[in-house]
Structure 1
Amino acid sequence: MPVPAEYVQSLHPYELRILLALERLMRRYTWVPFEILKSATGFSESELTYRLGRLINMDMVRYEKTPYDGYALIFDGYDTLALHTLTKRGTIQALGTRIGVGKESEVYEAMGLGVVVLKFHRVGQRSFQAVRLKRGYMPDTGHCPWIFASSNSAKMEYEALTALHPAVSVPLPIDQNRHVVVMSFIPGVNLTQATLTEPGPILDAILDNISEAYGLGIIHGDLSEFNVMVDQEGQCWLIDWPQWVETAHPNADEILARDIRNILQYFKRKYGIDYAFDEALARVVE
């Protein structure tokens, strides 16, 4: 879960300075040496030790003897920086309950100008090598901590939503900071949780949205029944866009075909709709 609200509210300006310094220095160090952090913040040894102790107790910072005394920002600390910035901008006022969780993200309701959704990207260490191989937002070489991989993922998704909305039925992008994307609330449920009385029109709408995105030069890249939401009126939305690729990508044809097949197979398996792949592909790229 994101850091408790009371921790963000009670954070001392010195502690915020330490978090910001760690964020900056972790682009060079996996574990930031104490002396380097002391120099960067300008704090005395005793002040820095005290503040680091508080941040460690709040699970915002982790300590490791590596063999030197080293410190690293972890997700609660990164959450704090993002929430602090979004609050200062006036994008959000309060964080609500968790409404979704995936392999690499958590989704929460929040209050902004009405109800909004916060998606916290969390690219995990277990999937890191696969992520580095498969995803355009990961550098081929060099130091890339999980927090920065997650930030890159969020930027990719926000960029896609900004390019697609409103031509494609996607959440309205509102703001983005670090690894958090703020978007409009979708009044529906995941396609896997719905039992459609008229599945045909929903399948048509999904293919039309894939086609609209393709016309804008964008392919979802990870589309399946888990990345579609529907409401009671038959409106659908395509969600989860961090893995999108341009239509000029060398593997664009293969990626698009996989997206389409995933959707067709789901509707055939659950609703018995036998929609020919060649016909669906032609509909998308026409």
Structure 2
Amino acid sequence: MPVPAEYVRSLHAYELRILLALERLMRRYQWVPLEVLRPATGFSESELSYRLGRLMAMDMVRYEKVPYEGYALVFNGYDTLALHTLTRRGTIQALGTLIGVGKESEVCEAMGLGPVALKFHRVGQRSFQSARLKRGYMPEATHCPWIFASSISAKMEYDALKTLHPAVSVPLPIDLNRHVLVMSFIPGVDLVRATLEEPEAALDDILKNIREAYRLGIVHGDLSEFNVMVDEGQCWLIDWPQWVETSHPNAGDLLARDIENILQYFKRKYGIEYAFDEALARVVE
């Protein structure tokens, strides 16, 4: 669950300064030593200790003694920095309820100029290493905290949505800060939870969207019944952080897997037989 809204509202300016300092220093330190953090904030030892205590109580900062004593920003703190920035920009005005949890993200309703969705990217060690090895968009450096890996993931998805919208049925990207992507709210349900009245038409719609994305040079890379939304017969493709360009060495394999996942789902649930070779030819024609 993203950081509680009351924590963001109650944050003192001094505590915000500490979070910003930790974010900056964590690009050099896995755990920021107190003797480095103190001059970076300009606070006295007693003031810094008090503020760090509050931040740790809100689970925004973590303290560790191994391999050495230091402090690190964790996801609640990173959420706070992103929400603070998006609020100051006027992108969002209120944070709503949690509406979705995925392998690498959490999605909340929010209010901006209208209803929007906030996607908090949560890249963990396993998914980060997989992305680094298979897709090549993560940095090669050994030191990259998960908060920064999540920021890269969010930027990847934002870039994909900007390229795809409106030719492909995807959410409209509205704003981005750190690991939080703001996009249009898509009503409806996941394909896996839907009971379609016209499944053939839905399958046709999904394949059309895969084809349009391919024409724009993008392969989803992780498509299945869990990241297609259905609303009144229209299908929306969501969750794009693992996309690759069509020129990527793994693009063909990933495209084949995307298509196979969708075909197998419609065969399993609705008994629709659609030849893989025919579907692939339709997409890449």
Fold-level match, TM-score > 0.5? yes
SS state at 1:32 partner: coil
Deviation, 1:173, is 0.5
| Aligned match of 1:235 | 234
- 1:249 aligns to what? 248
Aligned residues: 285
Q: For residues 130 and 243 of structure 1, what CA distance do their matches in structure 2 show?
A: 10
Match of 1:203 in 2: 203
Give me the whole-angstrom Cα distance separating, in 1, the residues matched to 2:14 and 2:69. 20
The answer to whether 1:99 aligns with 2:99 is: yes
For each residue in 1:159-214, what CA deviation from the matched residue of structure 2 results, as whole angstroms up to 9, or x when unmatched?
A: 00011000000001011111110010111110001111110111011000001000
What is the Cα deviation at residue 67 of structure 1? 5.2
Instruction: Give the fraction of aligned pairs with identical amino acids, expressed as a percent.
Output: 83
Matched residues in 2 for 1:123 and 1:175: separation? 19
The reply to whether residue 281 of structure 1 matches residue 285 of structure 2 is no
Residue type matched to 1:241 in 2?
W
For 2:171, what is the secondary structure of its paired residue?
coil
In structure 1, distance between residues paired with 2:84 and 2:187: 27
Q: How far did 1:103 drift? A: 1.3
Aligned positions of 1:25-44 closer than 5 A: 25-44=25-44
Question: In the alignment, what sits opposite 1:267?
Answer: 266
1:212 aligns with: 212
> What's the C-alpha RMSD, in Å, of the aligned pairs?
1.1
Matching residue's letter, 2:47 = E
SS at 2:119's partner residue? strand
- Given residue 62 of structure 2, which amino acid in structure 1 is its aligned partner? R
Conservation of the 8 A alpha-carbon contact between 1:137 and 1:149: no
Q: Show the counterpart of 1:169.
A: 169
- Tell me the amino acid that sits aligned with residue 184 of structure 2: S
Task: Determine if the alignment matches structure 1 residue 188 to structure 2 residue 188.
Answer: yes
1:3 shift after superposition: 1.4
* Secondary structure class of the residue paired with 1:3: coil
Q: How do 1:8-87 and structure 2 match up within 5 A?
A: 8-66=8-66, 68-87=68-87
In 2, distance between residues paired with 1:127 and 1:253? 21
List runs of 5+ in structure 2 lacking aligned partners: none
CA contact (8 A) 2:104 2:127 kept: no
Taking a change above 3 Å as real, the CA distance of residues 206 and 67 of structure 1, as seen in their structure-2 partners, is closer
- SS of the aligned residue for 2:30 comes to coil
- Give the residue type in structure 2 aligned to 1:132: R
What is the letter of the counterpart of residue 50 of structure 1?
Y
Aligned counterparts of 1:47 and 1:223: Cα–Cα separation in 2: 49
TM-score normalised by the chain length of structure 2: 0.97
The residue number in structure 2 matching 1:153 is: 153
The answer to whether the Cα contact below 8 Å between 2:99 and 2:109 also exists between their aligned partners in 1 is yes
Query: In the aligned structure 1, how far is the partner of 2:37 from the partner of 2:77?
Result: 16
Query: Any conservation in 2 of the 1:105–1:120 contact (CA below 8 Å)?
Result: yes
The answer for the alignment partner of 1:4 in structure 2 is: 4
1:126 CA displacement: 4.3
What letter is aligned with 2:89? R
TM-score by length of 1: 0.97
* 8 Å Cα contact 2:90-2:112 kept in structure 1: yes
Residue by residue over 1:112-166, the C-alpha shift from the partner in whole angstroms, topping out at 9 and shown as x without a partner, is 1111000100012344433332233312232110101111100000000011000
User: What is the one-letter code of the residue matched to 2:176?
Assistant: Q
Q: 1:140 & 1:258 partners in 2: Cα distance?
A: 26
Stretches of 4+ aligned residues off by more than 2 angstroms: 66-69, 125-132, 134-137
Distance, in Å, in 1 between the alignment partners of 2:146 and 2:178 is 12
CA distance in 1: counterparts of 2:133 and 2:230, whole angstroms: 32
